[in-house]
Structure 1
Amino acid sequence: MLNHATFIWNAADILRGTYKQHQYGDVILPFTVLARLDAVLAPTKKAVLAASEGYGPDDEPPQAMLRAKAAHSYSFWNRSQHDLKSLQGDPDNLEKNLRDYVRAFSPNVRDIFERYKFDDAIIDLGANDLLLQVLQHFAKANLHPDVVSNEQMGHIFEELIRKFAEASNETAGEHFTPREVIELMVSLLVDSDESLMTPGIVREVYDPTAGTGGMLSVAADRIHAHNAKAQVNLLGQEINPASYAICKADMVVKGQPIENIVLGNTLTDPAFEGRTFHYGLSNPPFGVDWKQFRTQIDTEHTVAGFAGRFGPGLPRVSDGSLLFLMHLVSKLREPKPGDANAVAGRGAIVLNGSPLFTGGAGSGESNIRKWILESDYLEAIVGLPTDMFYNTGIATYVWVLNKDKPAHRRGLVQLIDATGMYDKMRKSIGSKRRMLSPEHITEITRLFTGFEESKHSKIFRTTDFFYRTITVERPLRLNYALTPERVEKALASRALAKWDASLRDSLHRWSSSSRSERTETTRAAFTSALTELLTVADITLTATQLKTLISELGEPDDEGELVTVAGKPVSDASRRDTENVPWDEDIHEYLEREVKPFVPDAWIDESKTKEGAEIPFTRHFYEYVPPRPLEEIDRDLDEVLGRIRARLEAVKA
């Protein structure tokens, strides 16, 4: 396998000097697909050509007929008279013939080469007199299925993708999820699935953010390692045309149905409507902005509700990670009560830290977390080391999902701290400086399947992550005074802004000449004093205007008069506070214990109470490290200062 991959990648020797290193894959990958498809279709080539007789190059014979002639479970064909070997016989027309040969593929394969922009690559190679050399190189690679199985071909293509990702160092993270992260995610899903050993078993694996198909490929390999005769169907959707072409090509060379990989936006135009899957895997983009798709997503949320994907809530538009999480949950198979053979879906998705805690109670993010926990879909969260990904060094977490947890896990969530499990890479690739070793993956999987409390494994009830946010109010107490500053502030308020301009001017002139530093702590006394002053100044206010002016001249004062309406105290918005109360605690008992000893007149406005959920992962694994004793620090400082003094004396000497 590696010999084939090395031989194919050696085409870079032909390209070197004319192409930059990060451009090699743009030529080598589509030519590899072309060589494989040419070899796959060779046995049925004559039959397809015979069936195509009488049809012009622009006329399409019945697809069902050509599919039957192509046989061997492949749903594609090629109607060209040429193959890779015959193309070499006419070097003067090679560029035209090769482009015609590619166009003669069935539309579902032609789409791959269009996404690769293979026409442009052919023209460019021809312009640099390299086309014949490249074609001859690939014609020597014997990729016939009798020599290279679908599984082996898949590994060859993955190795080429890896080389391409390394050569494209600056964009590796866009094309390539670290292999060991994928291995861990698949291990968490597959290794604990006892049903995999069932003879004749069929498993479907889905990735809504398929990228180049790495997760699908690893999942297939791991399932076959458990059961070599299992039938594994791989399905995915990818928004980036270049990554889509690579993924679709990889699935084709593996012998997967070509329609199983779809180009498009998972959030706005999801593929495989009405279908659910045994396994779901995803590494969505971190912190992706979904503002441009807001109308469609909002509509699904409000119109479809829980019948759609986004019923629980919507996160802030600056980070759509939780949208992908809800989508993945919606694509996992539901359990079928009473049917022992029906296997519920399980999923694993990589997210950054914000989905764990962003958003307070009542926010979209909090509501989504609460829904997942209440539905008991969250099985575990694994904290990964930082610096694991090619394009970011931030902390990341694997969420393990299960639509039907085993009995001993129901109502519980496991947190696994693997942040310290890594090997340092000898050479970093982009932001990636650390990697998981096979031993680390085995240990993390053991912690997961063991489901026991330890230093790196904590088990919680789902409700342990719930809380209520209460609004604590304090009564409004005011004092009153007639000062130019307070009158200026009152005149600038919204309440007085609608008053007649001449009245406002009169008040302004009057306040400047009627300076009074006296502060009243009762509204009645101030009202009486103010009324007398206004009468002397010949300023007439209606009862409503006078009441409004007095209110605006008041300022909060702990020693002031209590403000009430209908016999009930008015709350002071400036001293309003919120408290997060654990889910299993009575909010009034919490108030009595935690708040009233400090502010005895506080109360809860229950109309503002909100329910929330957050998963403070780091807090549960935090270990306090006491500071070093001062004596030890002083001793170290003395030693350092002593060395500095000795060196200074040596310099002076």
Structure 2
Amino acid sequence: MAETLTKTELEHALFSAADSLRSKMDANEYKDYLLGIIFYKYLSDKLLYQVGELIEGRTDLSLEECQKIYSANYKDEDLLDELKETLMYLVEPKHTFTYIFEEINGEARTEDGNIKTFQISDLADAFNDIEGTSEEFEGLFQDVQLYSQKLGINAQKQTDTISEVIKAIGKLKLISADGKSDALGDAYEYLIGQFASETGKKAGEFYTPQKVSELLTKLTLVGKKYPEELTVYDPAMGSGSLLLNFKKYINDVGGKEDNVIYYGQEINISTYNLAKMNMILHGVASGNQHLRHGDTLDEDWPPISQTMFDAVVMNPPYSHNWSANKGFLQDPRFSPYGVLAPKSKADFAFLLHGFYHLKNTGTMAIVLPHGVLFRGAAEGKIRKKLLENGSIDAVIGLPANLFYNTSIPTVILVLKKNKEKRDVMFIDASKGFEKKKNQNELREEDIQKILETYEKREDVDRYAHLAKYDEIEENDFNLNIPRYVDTFVPEPPVDLKKVASDLHDTDVEIEKNQKELVGMLKELTSDNRDVMDGLDAIIKELEAELHE
């Protein structure tokens, strides 16, 4: 077996594995097959390596060697109990990825020595093995529709298509024998991003671009130290990429990635399952992840008595419809504001939900459309109340066309509780980006400039302004960024004397050229009387202009 691939090698190899599916369905569908089968291989490989270590005490065995050991010891109840306790799942030897890969290549044998050929039902049984082991894995593979006619018009065609996918990733060493998969987690994130790029507007259901995720995460960590536990929450978590950024950046604030406790909720069951896979592939311990499939606005979760959060991050669906039932006026998330977000625009409903779950010492960062800054009626009342309480800490305008599901410019609102002052830091970062083929993208220098400006809270010409509460009140609590940050660049003053001098020089040059032209015309001759009469007329006209 080859050495574990680097992150870049994995990225390219995994994405190219989708070739056998691209001609049959769009990216929003085939991502479920590829991501699901990669996840299955990861679980299978991890189990086999665990068997090799438990039975032989070795971490240098190949998957094929571990497969043989597992087949020989499968009836050992102690082994199975140990595996289930350690990994939380089981899969029979005849349902491991390694065995199925051997079936596809004609190398697998039944107990009586006959060649075992791969059938689509073998993979379905493998998925059932894993899903039936524990509640944590229940329904994880439900979007991998193995009997879909999009794979083929009959069972054999479906088997052939899936075989091609399995062969494409069969030789990839996704994890090392000691169970580490750091590169795989990042490569999986890359795959999700690539699928988001291909699916366009549908990507809004499950993916926040990585650079935006990085910015949101780092904004909540500015000025903080977390040597102990850090609790983070995303009430509209999608594929979980926003939450997983805390694993990347917790070391920057003195913390440890094992001390991050993740909470997330997602209404779309397919995306919820993707987030669970993403967490597992990034090595997040089961005790550190608390993910829930549910409607964040209609049913509050988690219970406020259970936990409040050091950081809340969110990129919810923009101007989303929600019930706005009058009963929510008694809901503690919304009741302090006296009104509800409009039924056709749930932006402030998402914001208030997240803010309600924030610790008094915590920070929240949420991406929303610019309308939340200036729309009136109920939204204006909610905004005014937040400003009166000093809850809005910063307003950061982002470039347009950052997201796959919309080209509109968006804004990040940073919120805190129990602030000493009610000032608001306005940052217009709409010009800082790199233009890519389909989307704009924040650069690392753009992110650092935003973070440094936010932390310093000082005016920056045509970029940032720290607005006092009185100034905001004078603007009737309208937070539209141009009211506070003037990005207009005046034209340089015109030097009239230089303009007059340039005009004079131009006139002199024109007169010189006309004289030369008259001289050349006088030298022209022709036997044609009409031509000569025409030339004489032109010469007289030019000479008259020169004498004026």
Interval of TM-score (by shorter of Structure 1 and Structure 2): 0.7 to 0.9
Q: 1:216 aligns with which of 230, 237, 243?
A: 243
CA distance in 1, matches of 2:292, 2:149: 23
CA distance in 1, matches of 2:195, 2:445: 27
Match of 1:316 in 2: 342
Kept in 2, the 8 Å contact 1:345–1:404? The answer is no
2:368 is aligned with 1:351 = yes
CA distance in 2, matches of 1:160, 1:118: 21
Q: 1:283 aligns with which of 310, 315, 335?
A: 315
What is the percentage of aligned positions where both structures have the same residue? 24
Match of 1:495 in 2: none
AA aligned opposite 1:346: T
CA distance in 1, matches of 2:309, 2:432: 31
Match of 2:295 in 1: 265
Residue 320 and residue 92 in structure 1: after superposition, are their counterparts in 2 closer, same or farther (change >3 A)? Answer: same
- Once the two structures are TM-superposed, the CA of residue 99 in structure 1 deviates from its matched residue by 0.8
2:454 is aligned with 1:453 = no
CA distance in 1, matches of 2:78, 2:489: 77
- Once the two structures are TM-superposed, the CA of residue 453 in structure 1 deviates from its matched residue by 1.8
Cα RMSD after superposing both structures: 3.5
Match of 1:501 in 2: none
Pairing of 1:111-260 with structure 2 (within 5 A): 111-117=139-145, 120=148, 124=152, 126-128=156-158, 129-144=160-175, 146=177, 149-193=180-224, 195-196=225-226, 198=227, 201-227=228-254, 229-230=256-257, 231-257=259-285, 260=290
AA aligned opposite 2:290: N
Residue 381 and residue 75 in structure 1: after superposition, are their counterparts in 2 closer, same or farther (change >3 A)? Answer: farther
- Once the two structures are TM-superposed, the CA of residue 177 in structure 1 deviates from its matched residue by 1.8
Residue 122 and residue 220 in structure 1: after superposition, are their counterparts in 2 closer, same or farther (change >3 A)? Answer: farther
Kept in 2, the 8 Å contact 1:27–1:121? The answer is no
Kept in 1, the 8 Å contact 2:250–2:256? The answer is no
CA distance in 2, matches of 1:250, 1:49: 32
Residue 93 and residue 314 in structure 1: after superposition, are their counterparts in 2 closer, same or farther (change >3 A)? Answer: same
Q: 2:97 aligns with which of 81, 84, 92?
A: 84
2:124 is aligned with 1:104 = no
Residue 308 and residue 153 in structure 1: after superposition, are their counterparts in 2 closer, same or farther (change >3 A)? Answer: same
Residue 116 and residue 375 in structure 1: after superposition, are their counterparts in 2 closer, same or farther (change >3 A)? Answer: farther
For the residue of structure 2 that corresponds to 1:219, the secondary structure is: helix
For the residue of structure 2 that corresponds to 1:209, the secondary structure is: coil
Kept in 1, the 8 Å contact 2:324–2:341? The answer is no
Pairing of 1:341-490 with structure 2 (within 5 A): 344-359=361-376, 363-405=377-419, 410-425=421-436, 427=437, 429=438, 432=439, 434-455=440-461, 456-466=463-473
For the residue of structure 2 that corresponds to 1:132, the secondary structure is: helix
Match of 1:30 in 2: 36
What's the CA shift string for 1:392-427, capped at 9, x where partnerless?
22221111122354x5xx3221111112222222x1
AA aligned opposite 1:8: L
Residue 345 and residue 119 in structure 1: after superposition, are their counterparts in 2 closer, same or farther (change >3 A)? Answer: farther
Aligned length: 453
Pairing of 1:593-632 with structure 2 (within 5 A): 613-622=477-486
Tell which deviates more after alignment, 307-316 or 208-217: 307-316
CA distance in 2, matches of 1:122, 1:261: 31
CA distance in 2, matches of 1:246, 1:123: 21
AA aligned opposite 1:616: N
For the residue of structure 1 that corresponds to 2:142, the secondary structure is: helix
Match of 1:3 in 2: 9
- Once the two structures are TM-superposed, the CA of residue 381 in structure 1 deviates from its matched residue by 1.0
Kept in 2, the 8 Å contact 1:422–1:437? The answer is yes
Residue 26 and residue 91 in structure 1: after superposition, are their counterparts in 2 closer, same or farther (change >3 A)? Answer: farther
Match of 1:600 in 2: none
Structure 1 residue runs of 5 or longer lacking an equivalent are 54-64, 335-343, 467-581, 584-611, 640-652
CA distance in 1, matches of 2:149, 2:283: 26
What's the CA shift string for 1:564-623, capped at 9, x where partnerless?
xxxxxxxxxxxxxxxxxx49xxxxxxxxxxxxxxxxxxxxxxxxxxxx733232222235
- Once the two structures are TM-superposed, the CA of residue 92 in structure 1 deviates from its matched residue by 3.9
Kept in 2, the 8 Å contact 1:280–1:332? The answer is yes
- Once the two structures are TM-superposed, the CA of residue 49 in structure 1 deviates from its matched residue by 6.2
Kept in 2, the 8 Å contact 1:75–1:257? The answer is no
Kept in 2, the 8 Å contact 1:172–1:391? The answer is yes
Residue 380 and residue 116 in structure 1: after superposition, are their counterparts in 2 closer, same or farther (change >3 A)? Answer: farther
Residue 282 and residue 174 in structure 1: after superposition, are their counterparts in 2 closer, same or farther (change >3 A)? Answer: same
AA aligned opposite 1:374: E
CA distance in 1, matches of 2:327, 2:76: 52
- Once the two structures are TM-superposed, the CA of residue 371 in structure 1 deviates from its matched residue by 2.5
Tell which deviates more after alignment, 382-391 or 163-172: 163-172
Residue 2 and residue 623 in structure 1: after superposition, are their counterparts in 2 closer, same or farther (change >3 A)? Answer: closer
